[in-house]
Amino acid sequence: MTPLIHLAEAAEQKSAEVTDWAGRLGWVAGLLLFVVFVYWLMRQGWKWRGSLQSDLPALPEVPEAPGEARLTLRGRYHGSTTAGQWLDRIVAHGLGLRSRAELTLTDAGITVLRPGANDFHIPAAALREARLDKGIAGKVLTEGGLLVVTWEHGDKLLDSGFRSDRAAEHAAWVEAINTLSNATTTEGIAR
């Protein structure tokens, strides 16, 4: 046979008609129900975690006059965890929601403004330390790519992770926060 005959035969062949539409639609509907169910389970888990953390007090309000800004940072807020446990995400009071963030460091502490999420303030007396790290609650970056601030809220120590749009700013923030934290401690404010 010549190649032209094979082409002619191939052109005449057609795929089989789909006749079982009910079966296919049933599978698609079943798959969609499964996806919705998994999403519902994830949401219930998030709510359950929030109810377990209901003993956490409300976040400190942003002061009207926090003072002169030492440093500012624009970037992302990646979440908060229990201090030292980088996978134990805190979801109460919106602390588990990732968002854009604008941080301002003053003598009064750190003001965190988050569009679309709750703004909060970390008082200078609550600051414990700052460090560069590589991960927090589901976000892993290169070594030193994340600014982690440890602070006390209620009777719990929290780690909050931030990433600046300009990562070179992180070192200055670590130094300034640790200086402010040490100055606050030496002025007689108990930890």
**Residue 168 and residue 129 share a domain:** yes
Instruction: Provide the domain limits for residue 37.
Output: 20-52
Give the strand pairing for 99-106 and 71-82. antiparallel
Alpha carbon distance 38, 45 (integer Å): 11
Hey, which residues does 160 pair with through a beta bridge?
Answer: 80, 149
What value, to the nearest 5°, has the Cα angle with vertex 51 and ends 50 and 56?
A: 75
Give a yes or no: residue 36 inside a domain.
Answer: yes
Give a yes or no: residue 11 inside a domain.
Answer: no
What value, to the nearest 5°, has the Cα angle with vertex 95 and ends 150 and 152?
A: 30
pTM: 0.72
CATH code, 123: 2.30.29.30
**Residue 154 and residue 110 share a domain:** yes
**Residue 124 and residue 48 share a domain:** no
Give a yes or no: residue 60 inside a domain.
Answer: no
**Residue 150 and residue 122 share a domain:** yes
**Residue 129 and residue 35 share a domain:** no
- pLDDT value of position 191: 41
**Residue 137 and residue 173 share a domain:** yes
- pLDDT (tens digit, 0 to 9) for every residue of the chain, 191 residues total? 566 566 556 566 666 666 777 888 889 999 999 999 999 998 888 788 777 777 788 888 888 877 888 899 999 999 888 888 888 888 888 888 889 999 999 988 999 999 988 889 999 899 999 999 887 877 777 777 889 999 998 888 999 999 998 888 889 999 999 988 876 655 554 44
**Residue 165 and residue 113 share a domain:** yes
Q: How would DSSP label each residue in 148-174?
A: EEEEEETTEEEEEEEEESSGGGHHHHH
Give a yes or no: residue 6 inside a domain.
Answer: no
**Residue 112 and residue 44 share a domain:** no
**Residue 181 and residue 89 share a domain:** yes
**Residue 134 and residue 46 share a domain:** no
Alpha carbon distance 100, 78 (integer Å): 9
**Residue 163 and residue 82 share a domain:** yes
Alpha carbon distance 91, 75 (integer Å): 20
Domain total in the chain: 2
Give a yes or no: residue 129 inside a domain.
Answer: yes
Give a yes or no: residue 64 inside a domain.
Answer: no
